[in-house]
Amino acid sequence: MAVNKNFVVKNGLEVDTNTLFVDSANNRVAIGTTVPTATLDVRGKILSDSQVESFVGKFVGIVTAGAVGVTTMTAGAAVISGVATVGFISATSLNVVTGFSTVQAFSSKDLTVSIGATISGDLNVGGAATVGGALTVTGSSKLQDTQVGSALTVTGISTFTGASKFANTARFEKDIAVGSAATVGVLTVTGNAYFNGNVDIGGDITFDEVNARNLNISGISTLGFATAANAYVAGMTTTHLLNVGFGATMVKVQGTPATRVGINSIGPAFTLDVDGDSNVTGTVRQAGTSVLTTASGDATALAIALG
């Protein structure tokens, strides 16, 4: 049948059982069903060889983007509530509220993930990143500003270029560098480091210079040069040079050629070298024998013996 002018149907249209159905009362068109629930209700696959445009897109089932004929999905706001596999997506705002999404690559201004997210490749964040739950990074990551409210575990190489805040436990299994490249096996800090609380070190500590208000040493320590207002030594300490600021008194202990102690003498020539008067309230002995006994108790002989 040929129709050469407009074909008007006033009271709906039905072709075959459910091939095409028009609900004129609700202004709905259905394909594959006789009970349309939307303006256009299609119960089956939709194929288009041209561009499909939509103001708002909502996917509640399984979505695959990146197949033949689809290269880029660009949307102002994309909400994914089901399972989605995306090859590449560029969106101003991407919200994943339920289900699971697999993304090969994406570019997004704002990314909100309210469920678990696993990133096995590189993660580059140029702006602020806020993570309310646990964050696990197994590959390389570069974060400018990061706030983590739960545990942070980093097993790869990570670079934090901005202000970072960790409210809970942070665990780094690789090298950590602050200000420059990391040295293998250690924490490398190029600038100053400030600790407001205590610092506990289970292994050895090596430093070039230390300034302390109160220094407590309970074990064996070897000091090349130390400057401290108060130094308390409860164990064994080997000191190469110790300056004591009481009355401009200097005590020097050196091991070459032999251990010597000098008081007001920076180069002691004897085991004990005192530059100035000495006062002894006890017995002065030489080789274990009292000097008074050696001098036979004679004051004159004692004066001669003492020079």
- Per residue in 255-304, pLDDT (tens digit) is 666 677 778 777 778 888 888 888 888 888 877 777 766 545 555 655 66
201-256 pLDDT tens trace: 888 777 777 777 777 888 777 777 667 777 777 777 776 666 665 544 566 665 66
Q: CA torsion sign, 168 to 172 to 175 to 181?
A: negative
Q: CA torsion sign, 238 to 242 to 245 to 249?
A: positive
28-60 pLDDT tens trace: 999 999 999 999 999 988 888 887 777 777 777
Q: What pTM does this model have?
A: 0.37
How far is Cα 122 from Cα 177, in angstroms, rounded to an integer?
18
135 C-beta neighbours (distance < 10 Å), count = 22
**Residue pair 305/293 in contact by the 8 Å Cβ criterion:** no
Q: Where are the domains of the chain?
A: 11-43, 58-115, 118-195, 277-307
Residue 257, preceding peptide bond in cis (omega within 30° of 0): yes
Give mean pLDDT, residues 80-96: 73
Q: What is the mean pLDDT of the chain?
A: 74
How far is Cα 64 from Cα 84, in angstroms, rounded to an integer?
6
30 C-beta neighbours (distance < 10 Å), count = 22
Q: Given this model, what pLDDT does residue 42 score?
A: 92
**Which is it for strands 84-96 and 73-80: parallel, antiparallel or unpaired?**
parallel
